[in-house]
Amino acid sequence: MASTPQTFDNHVRFHPMYHYVLLSLVVVLLVLLAVILWNGGKSLVEMAYYVVLTAVVCITVAYLRLYALKLQNRIIKEELRLRYFMLTGKSFAVKEAALRSGQVFALRFASDEELPALVEAAIAEQLRPIDIKKRIKAWRGDYDRV
C-alpha cells in the first residue's frame, strides 16, 4: 500500500516516465516532423519515411495506454460484480445495466458499508462519477491502477 492513503483529492495518478517523458518525446517528434516537412529539401521517400515512422510511434504510444486502461476497466467491473454479490447476495447485472461505465469505475472507491446504498443513489439520481466520489466517506483506495 502507498505511504499516503488515497483520497478524492489525490486519487488521480500520473506516471512520470509515461505522462511526462514519453509523451513529451512524442510531442518533440511531432514538432521535428513538422519542421522537416516545412523545410522540405528531402526526397519524397525520405519524407514519407519520417511521416510513417512518426505515425507508428504515435499510434503505438496511444494504444499502449488504451489497452492498459481497457484491461483495467474490465478487471474493475469484475471486482465490483464480485464485491456487490458478496455484500448483498444479489447479482450486480441489473444494477450495472442502469449505470454508465464512469459511474461503475467511481463506485470502486466506496467502502463495503457504503457501496450498496451508493449504487442505489447513483442509479436513482443519475450521479456523475465525480459526484459519486465526493459522496464517499470511507475511501477505499485503488493503488494498483496505472
**Residue 4: inside a domain:** no
Residue 65 belongs to domain spanning:
14-135
User: Model-level pTM greater than 0.75?
Assistant: no
Residue 41 lies in a domain: yes
- 143, part of any domain: no
Position 145 in a domain: no
Q: Which residue has the cell 521517400?
A: 45
**What digits encode the pLDDT tens for the residues 42-77?**
787 888 888 888 899 989 989 998 999 999 999 999
Q: What is the DSSP letter of 20?
A: I
In a domain, 5, yes or no: no
Split into its structural domains, the chain has a count of 1
In a domain, residue 6? The reply is no
DSSP output for 126-137: T--HHHHHHH-S
